[in-house]
Amino acid sequence: MRSKSTTVVLVDDHPMFRKGLRLLLEDEPDLSVIGEAGDGDAAIELIKELLPDIVVLDINMPGMNGIDAAKKISTNIPDIKIIALSIHSEKRFVEDMLLAGASSYILKQSAPEDLVRGIRTVINGDSYLSPSITSVVLSQLCEGLSKEAGSWKGELDIMGTKLYPPELSSNHVYRPHLIQQLEKGSTLPLTLIIAPAGYGKSVLVKSWLQSYTSAHCWISLDETDNDLRRFLQYFVYAIKTLFPDSLAISESLLKAKVLPPVHVLATKLIHEIDMLGESIVVVLDDIHLVSEISVYDFLSEFFRHPSKWLHFIIMGRQDPFLPIASLRGSRKLAELRLKDLRFSLEETTQYLQMVLNEPIEEKNISKLHQRTEGWIAGLRLAVLSRNQAEDVDLFLEDSKVDSQYIMEYLVNEILDKQSQPFRTYLLKTSLFDRFCGPLCSYICQMNDQGSKNEDEGWKFISRLKNENMFVVKLEGDNIWYRFHNLFQGLLKKQLYRNFGPQEITNIYTRASEWFAENGFVEEGIEHGILAGNLDGAAQLLAENRYRVLELNNTGSALEKWISMFPHEYILQRPALLLAKAWLLHDLYRLREVEALINQLESIASDQTLQADLMAELNFFRGVAKYWNGDGQVAERQLINAREQLPAGQSWIASQVELYLALARQMVGQNKRAVDGLHEKLLITSGSDDSEMYRCVLTGTLGFVNFISGNLYQTIGISDRLLFLSTKSSLNTIRTWAHYLLGISHLHLFELEEALANFALLVDNRSTMHPRVVVDAYVGMALAHCFLNQQELALKVSEQLLEYSTQRYAGNDSHLISVARSCQARVFLFQGNVSKAEKCIQLMSTDVPIPLLFTWLEIPEITKARLLIAIGSTSSLHEAALILSDFRQRTEGTHNHCHTIELIVLQVLCSIKQGQRDQAFAYLEEAVALSESGGWIRPFVEAGPALIYLLKEYQSKSKSNSKSKSSNKARAVAAILVNLQGEHNGIKPQQNDRNMAQPAVLAEALTAREFEILELLQRRLRNKEIGARLYISPETVKSHIKKIFSKLDVTDRRDAVVKAIELKIISKN
Amino acid sequence: MNSFSQENKSVSFSSDAYYKICVLGDIDASWSDRLGGMSIESALSADKKHITFLEGRVTDQAELIGIVNSLYQMRLPLLSVSLVEYS
């Protein structure tokens, strides 16, 4: 792709450094240095005159510094690419330089090849950061991660109202003996308050909290908390209202697509709460409304190793699903139950005297007490229902009133007393779990359209308050109220008695309208569904789904919305099917996406669908085709989607471009894919609201380059992506940048960098795409293998297996197969064929093979590796078949990254089959394909068997040396260096004698030791060996000592025999 | 096996009492902790179905209902709930 020679101008104030740089660059045939300058001003003059392709720019210079110079150059002559070369690794310099227009930032202390690589990357239109800069960005990223707290926008509006206790009414009875019990219990992990409705549970706790000085929060639970994530979001949010900077990790865990297991969540939460070092009381009110077992599992986990700082008060009508027996046994629990809570006769007296402004006979008090059995709500109802004191007597005398029906009887009495409009308000508002003035007005004035009076609603609420009619104010910024649950239930019963189904439907419809208009989408949908107006609710969802997708592409709100619709209904609605398709696509459940699309096609034709839905349908058709390996059809569908997509849908537009570029790459139109992306990037540059769009497109460039085998470019682009996505806090996209960096570095055999990126992905596994996490584990395991950290490699592969079988990874049988085959691969690398075979046998075989994409671990390919290792005639034959079958497939989809892998394995297979010429031909193909990309990993993994062939290749290419083949020769040399276990920065470790992993030894031998071993085989003496290798006999001796220890032998003969046995060297 | 109460006995809403509960299905004794500390025993019925008996003292009706509710959440159909003894 490079044309002629790239021209470079060097700007640095140290002439010696410039000279060194010039020598270095001129060593490269495709680069020429055409000028030098010593400061910024001189540089600008020179550049205007020479118009080079590239300027390499220092930052610290006399006169105009590098940053200002870069600004001038990039505004005046934007075509010139700037590479900053500096000793500063601090973030601000990197940022300033990149903002000033530099495409690349390289540290002076990094390897010279870095600069060459940077120049080549930049000239291709991409950007490049030194690997060491990447780690700076990485560490700052980690800091950034923990700062991103409190971003459940939208959901919080609803949340706020749940986090406040009911207000105390002025006339409640102070109950010192119970307060004392609460006080005593607060040193234990849990106080459980269990009694039926109306025994004053909430009032008691509230009145205790009024005098409680430490931090406390209150969560009123309801049915929507039957979702662990939602429950925990409230929980975390409640604590954050007390300590705004706390619980960062827990909060980020909750943003995961799929939640981590409860013990992880509980441990993290406990840890983070302990870190606060302050006592907190958390009140969970109405626990009986929660039936979701995972919520109880979480709480049980919490109580297993409770935090000494956290005290729970859990209230409900019946015992929750918690390990109460053992909590009791281990004295971690204080309890207040019905018998403790009911009013004593004294308390009944006190209460009646307080609420009745007239005296009441003592005998009546005790009768009332007997009749209500200390049930406080009953007492209150009795008081409310009376007009005069005598009514109480009447009620007491009325023998027809069975105690069971006291409540209903009383509520009827209350309602009868009210004026007609107030009654209507009471009954209609009982349908809602929360209400405010405007909502009440909207609901209750449905007949006189136009003259709605919002004050009416507020008047109604204030009267409820004045009459102390079981109304609970939900505090906070919002102005929401609810009825006491018990009262609400009774009112509802009356509502159903007094209103027809049509009227009730109308109420729900009005409520849905009101909620939707005021931005409460979820309640809008919920009430729409209750009104039976599924279409309206679906419409509401359809209108809001783009916003949600864009806002936070984990889509958890969307999931919740969709889950409210009946399954059969979703199947009939294109908009809902498409919304669901987005969710599943996000979770890499592609088969299910396909099924949804088929379903959609069965209910709607292209003619009947709206344009925007049509665009999405075509998008998913394209996606399905892409993952099925049909790039041509995919491209067509995606172009259709692009044309049909209405303006302003930047999220979907970015996804369309992503797949379009991938599809083009698949059909071999790499240039069109890349050009298309560049073009789009150019159009959008400058507009602020398109950062997400630009990031997705940049990431796409990375994937296209990776699949095409261009590792250097991929790294350059990914660095840029990392920078962009970090700047815009786009977490999901950022993880893709790390993924691309990890796999690229791994194939380049830059193992430490690869590990850093993979480790970051694994650490954040719970917030990430399961397939990426699996690949990150695989990458880590491989890197550890190559670093000769065999035990670590095994451990990582076990962790992967554990991860893939967890529920939160989706329990996908394909992922489990990948995990098992990764384990097999590690065993193979360690020469343990029988264990590898066992792992492969455990894999499920009925899983269809998906597109190979960029994935590091493909079970079938590992199976081929195993067959090669087994080495029998039939197994080799089978391996060869698998390899050629897959190669056909990857070549058909222009998937170079996997083609390289497959050809290397073909080389290995042919060697084992004794087909040396065939092997050599394959090797030539492999080198030709991988040379420009810098691929090393597949060769090294194939093992020492390749060494001879590579050396043969080297000597052959030397003999017909042309400048053309010099790149290839260099690539082969790089492979050989790594294959023989001697490469920068990675010191082969001493082998653990106890472990005795034979095949590992080849990795542990350095190139020098390998050479000596070969000479030992020829029975040369130390002196002769030294003479051949130009080293002293003493050095030879020490090398031989090391060889002995690595091979676990004591003499030369044994060393040679064992090395042959282990196939480190071959028999003469 | 379908009786839900025992006649001639009365029990108060807030007092403790000893109950025996029988459900269809098999639960491990380790669940006892989360089912009010009741003892748990499983058996096979004549028609080879797993049946589990839980018995023990509950503090009040709220605890009993809590246990029954937990069994419901564990998707175990009730065969019987019977009062053995009350105080």
Q: What is the tens place of the pLDDT at every residue in A704-744?
A: 999 999 998 898 899 889 888 888 777 778 889 999 999 99
Most trustworthy range by pLDDT among A105-114, A544-553, A631-640: A631-640
Segment A561-569 mean pLDDT? 87
Q: Amino acid identity, residue A73? A: I
Amino acid B63: pLDDT: 92
Chain A, residues 287-306, CB within 8 A of chain B, namely: 288, 291, 293, 296, 300
How confident is residue A150, by pLDDT bands cut at 50, 70 and 90? very low
| Cβ atoms of A560 and A522 closer than 8 Å | yes
Segment A496-517 mean pLDDT? 90
3-state DSSP assignment of residue A244: coil
CB contact under 8 A, B63 and A194: yes
* Alpha-carbon gap: A919 to the closest alpha carbon of chain B (Å): 60
Segment A927-950 mean pLDDT? 89
Counting one residue from A and one from B, how many pairs have CB atoms under 8 Å apart?
Answer: 67
Is residue A658 pLDDT above 90, yes or no? yes
Dihedral Cα A368, A369, A371, A372, nearest 10 deg: 110
Q: What percent of chain B has pLDDT over 70?
A: 87
Residue with tokens 């894919």: A673
* Total residues belonging to chain A: 1068
**Which among B11, B12, B33, B35 is the top mutation candidate for probing chain A, defined by the most A β-carbons within 10 Å of its own β-carbon?**
B33
ipTM: 0.71
3-state DSSP assignment of residue A477: coil
CB contact under 8 A, A318 and B32: no
Name the residue facing A291 among B37, B61, B73 (closest C-beta): B73
Segment A136-148 mean pLDDT? 41
CB contact under 8 A, B34 and A337: no
Chain B neighbors of A322, CB-CB under 8 A: 34
How confident is residue A166, by pLDDT bands cut at 50, 70 and 90? low
3-state DSSP assignment of residue A315: strand
Dihedral Cα A238, A586, A558, A141, nearest 10 deg: 30
Residue-wise pLDDT tens digits, A509-551: 999 999 988 888 888 998 999 898 888 898 888 888 777 666 5
The more confidently predicted of residues B81 and A548 is B81
Amino acid A494: pLDDT: 85
**Which among B19, B31, B70, B71 is the top mutation candidate for probing chain A, defined by the most A β-carbons within 10 Å of its own β-carbon?**
B70
Report the alpha-carbon distance of residue A55 to residue A44 in Å, rounded.
10
Segment A969-995 mean pLDDT? 57
Most trustworthy range by pLDDT among A253-267, A305-319, A437-451, A671-685: A305-319
CB contact under 8 A, A319 and B73: no
Residue with tokens 């696509």: A585
How confident is residue A847, by pLDDT bands cut at 50, 70 and 90? low
Largest CA distance in chain A: 123
Report the DSSP pairing between strands A480-483 and A471-474: antiparallel
CB contact under 8 A, A324 and B67: no
Give ∠ CA A476-A480-A482 in degrees, rounded to 5: 120
The more confidently predicted of residues A921 and A63 is A921
Half-sphere exposure of A224 (CA within 13 A, CB side): 17
- How many beta carbons lie within 10 A of that of residue A205, not counting itself? 26
* A294, closest residue in chain B (CA to CA): B73
Residue-wise pLDDT tens digits, B32-67: 888 988 999 988 888 888 899 999 999 889 999 999
| Cβ atoms of A471 and A486 closer than 8 Å | no
- How many beta carbons lie within 10 A of that of residue A588, not counting itself? 21
Amino acid A149: pLDDT: 32
Name the phi and psi angles at A3, rounded to 5.
-100, 140
Amino acid A2: pLDDT: 40
CB contact under 8 A, A324 and B13: no
Name the residue facing A338 among B35, B62, B67 (closest C-beta): B62
A264 touches chain B (CB under 8 A): no
Amino acid A618: pLDDT: 92
Interface of B with A (CB under 8 A): 13-15, 32-37, 59-63, 65-67, 69-70, 73-74
Amino acid A888: pLDDT: 92
CB contact under 8 A, A321 and B73: yes
Name the residue facing A321 among B34, B37, B59 (closest C-beta): B34
Task: Quote the strand ranges of A43-152, DSSP E.
Answer: 54-57, 81-86, 104-107, 128-129
Smallest CA-to-CA distance from A520 within A482, A480, A491, A475 is with A480
Name the phi and psi angles at A201, rounded to 5.
-65, -55
* Alpha-carbon gap: A164 to the closest alpha carbon of chain B (Å): 26
Is residue A162 pLDDT above 80, yes or no? no
Chain A, residues 342-361, CB within 8 A of chain B, namely: 342
Amino acid A959: pLDDT: 74
Smallest CA-to-CA distance from A10 within A32, A36, A30, A34 is with A36
The more confidently predicted of residues A415 and A695 is A695
Smallest CA-to-CA distance from A378 within A352, A398, A415 is with A352
Most trustworthy range by pLDDT among A631-640, A646-655, A799-808, A956-965: A631-640
Domains of chain B: 16-86 (3.30.70.2040)
- How many beta carbons lie within 10 A of that of residue A887, not counting itself? 19
Dihedral Cα A761, A763, A769, A775, nearest 10 deg: 50
Report the alpha-carbon distance of residue A969 to residue A951 in Å, rounded.
10
CB contact under 8 A, B62 and A291: no
**Which among B32, B60, B72, B76 is the top mutation candidate for probing chain A, defined by the most A β-carbons within 10 Å of its own β-carbon?**
B60
CB contact under 8 A, B62 and A319: yes
Q: Amino acid identity, residue A679? A: E
Chain B neighbors of A320, CB-CB under 8 A: 66
3-state DSSP assignment of residue A431: coil
Report the DSSP pairing between strands B17-24 and B50-58: antiparallel
| HEC profile of A541-567 | HHHHHHHHHHHCCCCHHHHHHHHCCCH
Q: What percent of chain A has pLDDT over 70?
A: 85
Chain A neighbors of B60, CB-CB under 8 A: 194, 337-339
Segment B2-13 mean pLDDT? 55
The more confidently predicted of residues A608 and A796 is A796
The per-residue pLDDT of chain A, averaged, comes to 82
Name the residue facing B62 among A291, A318, A323 (closest C-beta): A318
**Which among A223, A315, A318 is the top mutation candidate for probing chain B, defined by the most B β-carbons within 10 Å of its own β-carbon?**
A318
CB contact under 8 A, B59 and A337: yes
Chain B neighbors of A318, CB-CB under 8 A: 62-63, 65-66, 69
Amino acid A894: pLDDT: 92
CB contact under 8 A, A339 and B70: no
* B12, closest residue in chain A (CA to CA): A339
Segment A196-203 mean pLDDT? 83
**Which among A300, A321, A326 is the top mutation candidate for probing chain B, defined by the most B β-carbons within 10 Å of its own β-carbon?**
A321
Residue-wise pLDDT tens digits, A1003-1039: 457 667 777 887 888 888 888 887 777 677 777 888 8
* B16, closest residue in chain A (CA to CA): A339
CB contact under 8 A, B66 and A291: no
CB contact under 8 A, A325 and B33: yes
Report the alpha-carbon distance of residue A832 to residue A797 in Å, rounded.
15
Amino acid A1000: pLDDT: 46
Chain B neighbors of A326, CB-CB under 8 A: 33, 37
Residues in Cβ contact with A340 at an 8 Å cutoff, skipping those fewer than 6 apart? A178, A181
CB contact under 8 A, B34 and A324: yes
Q: What tokens were used for A411?
A: 């509520």
Region of A896 (left: φ > 0; alpha: ψ -120 to 50; beta: rest) is: alpha
Residue-wise pLDDT tens digits, A243-295: 888 888 888 888 776 677 788 889 889 988 988 888 999 999 989 888 888 89
Chain B neighbors of A317, CB-CB under 8 A: 62, 65
Residue-wise pLDDT tens digits, A595-625: 899 998 888 877 778 888 899 999 999 999 9
CB contact under 8 A, A325 and B32: yes
Q: What percent of chain A has pLDDT over 90?
A: 25
Chain A neighbors of B34, CB-CB under 8 A: 296, 300, 321-325
Is residue A878 pLDDT above 90, yes or no? yes
* Alpha-carbon gap: A547 to the closest alpha carbon of chain B (Å): 36
**Per-residue DSSP letters for A690-731?**
GHHHHHHHHHHHHHHHHHTT-HHHHHHHHHHHHHHHHHTT-H
How confident is residue B2, by pLDDT bands cut at 50, 70 and 90? very low
Largest CA distance in chain B: 38
Amino acid A964: pLDDT: 53
Is residue A900 pLDDT above 70, yes or no? yes
Name the residue facing A293 among B60, B67, B73 (closest C-beta): B73
Segment A485-510 mean pLDDT? 86
* B39, closest residue in chain A (CA to CA): A325
CB contact under 8 A, B13 and A338: yes
Segment A988-995 mean pLDDT? 33
The more confidently predicted of residues A649 and A600 is A600
CB contact under 8 A, B69 and A194: no
Is residue A134 pLDDT above 60, yes or no? no
Name the phi and psi angles at A995, rounded to 5.
-75, -35
